[in-house]
């Protein structure tokens, strides 16, 4: 039986929290998760854990917004989004010279190019401002949702879902890669997203 909390939920929360809060919040959840696992079924404990994580997303994002320096972070994320769009457009145009007729293969390649570009874009954005990758993930989620609502039947459902869920996750993964690399380079230095960055 798996003793650890749901991995994806834990990973998602790790990406959203600033370093100052990460360990204590994950520790609090791990503590109560282990109590619930002892008292109830593991599945119920995992459901509780996921509920806590998904319920925490709006307040964590809002707290991040309130901390300020948001305009600069938003500008970096928006710039990254534009660059991603341009690079993706060029890459897809280059692909279309080899695959002239629309096919399942071209859709798969376009998806891979799109998601790969998002990972790189988020990596670059996080290098400029650590929280920009998270903002980029939100922008991607909003834009894809808007496109699905406005143009529901223009592309296959799997393609829409791949970008709806894969897009934000690709951005978070790119940001995570950048921050992990930075941490390996400077193991003694914590990331400071805000004025509250130091641990008391």
Partner 1 sequence: MPRGELLGSLEHIVLLALLRLGESAYGMTVRREIEDRTGRSLSIGAVYATLERLETKGFVSSFTGEPTAERGGRAKRHFRIEAEGERSLREAQAAVQSMSAGLKKRLGTV
Name the site residues for partner 1 (rule: CB under 8 A). Answer: 13, 21, 23-32, 34, 51-52, 55-60, 62-63, 66, 196, 199-200
Nearer to partner 1, 151 or 199 (CB): 199
Query: Closest separation between CB of residue 183 and partner 1, Å?
Result: 17
Nearer to partner 1, 157 or 199 (CB): 199
Query: Closest separation between CB of residue 66 and partner 1, Å?
Result: 8
Nearer to partner 1, 8 or 89 (CB): 8
Query: Closest separation between CB of residue 137 and partner 1, Å?
Result: 16
Query: Closest separation between CB of residue 194 and partner 1, Å?
Result: 10
Long-range Cβ pairs for the range 43-52 (8 Å, 24+): 46/5, 46/6, 49/5, 49/6, 49/9, 49/10, 50/6, 50/9
Nearer to partner 1, 2 or 97 (CB): 2
Q: Give the pair of three-digit tokens for residue 62.
A: 């809002």
Q: How far apart are the first and last CA of the chain?
A: 37
Determine contact, residues 159/147, Cβ cutoff 8 Å. no
Q: Give the pair of three-digit tokens for residue 145.
A: 């949702």
Q: How many contiguous H segments (helices) and E segments (strands) does the chain have?
A: 7, 0
């Amino acid at each position: 039986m798996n003793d650890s909390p749901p991995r994806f939920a834990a990973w998602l929360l790790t990406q959203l929290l600033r370093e100052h809060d990460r360990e204590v919040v994950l520790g609090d959840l791990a503590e109560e998760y282990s109590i619930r696992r002892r008292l109830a079924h593991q599945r119920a404990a995992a459901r509780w854990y996921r509920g806590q994580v998904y319920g925490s997303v709006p307040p964590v994002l809002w707290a991040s917004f309130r901390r300020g320096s948001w305009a600069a972070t938003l500008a970096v994320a928006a710039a990254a989004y534009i660059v991603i769009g341009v690079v993706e457009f060029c890459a897809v145009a280059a692909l279309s010279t080899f695959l002239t007729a629309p096919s399942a293969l071209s859709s798969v390649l376009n998806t891979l190019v799109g998601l790969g570009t998002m990972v790189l874009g988020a990596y670059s954005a996080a290098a400029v401002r650590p929280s920009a990758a998270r903002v980029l993930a939100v922008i991607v989620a909003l834009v894809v949702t808007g496109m699905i609502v406005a143009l529901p039947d223009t592309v296959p459902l799997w393609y829409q879902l791949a970008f709806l869920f894969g897009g934000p996750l690709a951005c978070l993964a790119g940001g995570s890669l950048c921050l992990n690399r930075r941490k390996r380079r400077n193991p003694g230095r914590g990331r400071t997203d805000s004025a509250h960055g130091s641990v008391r």
